[in-house]
């Protein structure tokens, strides 16, 4: 019976720490695979369509997002959980031209994103223009979150 305790205790510790991950955005070191397009520079960001995604424990709300190629968007991400979550969709980020990532600490111009991190209660905004049509996977890369169903799809048409 004691052996079972040695297995369960570390698992409980790992699960407890899963919600305590440091919220750090993930960027690419290379422009390879990312689109380059002048439409973002020409966009009128005051007229951008606003899409809001609420991040909850183990779910994105809504889980399916739809964007139109060539149109300017403001993607507002709001973490209504006390845990850290990640909006991870590298192939989607490679299919858009990101103009800015706005966060409490400031603004990052033209980010080459892999994932956007959101600490508990944190919100961020991404200004972008979708370019390449397709269906892209969305997931949270915090430990076990994808396994608990924190996934979605992003469509560019």
pLDDT for residue 15: 47
pTM: 0.83
**152, 63 Cβ separation under 8 angstroms:** yes
pLDDT for residue 6: 55
Tens place of pLDDT per residue across the chain (157 aa): 455 555 544 544 444 444 455 578 888 877 777 887 777 778 888 999 999 999 999 999 999 999 999 999 999 999 999 999 999 999 999 999 999 999 988 999 999 999 999 999 999 999 999 999 999 999 999 999 999 999 999 999 9
**Domain 2-156 classification at class level:** mainly beta
pLDDT for residue 118: 97
Nearest to 90 by CA among 29, 44, 39: 29
pLDDT for residue 3: 52
**74, 45 Cβ separation under 8 angstroms:** yes
């Amino acid at each position: 019976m004691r052996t079972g305790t040695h297995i369960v205790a570390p698992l409980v510790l790992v699960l407890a720490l899963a919600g305590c991950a440091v919220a750090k955005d993930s960027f690419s070191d290379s422009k390879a695979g990312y689109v380059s397009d002048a439409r973002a520079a020409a966009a009128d960001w005051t007229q951008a369509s606003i899409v809001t995604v609420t991040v909850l424990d183990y779910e994105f709300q809504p889980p399916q997002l739809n964007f139109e190629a060539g149109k300017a968007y403001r993607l507002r991400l709001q973490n209504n959980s006390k845990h850290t979550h990640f909006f991870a969709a590298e192939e989607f980020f490679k299919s858009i031209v990101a103009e800015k990532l706005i966060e409490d600490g400031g603004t990052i111009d033209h980010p080459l994103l892999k994932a956007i991190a959101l600490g508990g209660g944190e919100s961020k905004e991404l200004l972008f223009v979708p370019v390449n049509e397709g269906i892209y996977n969305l997931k949270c890369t915090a430990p076990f979150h994808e396994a608990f169903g924190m996934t979605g799809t992003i469509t560019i048409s």
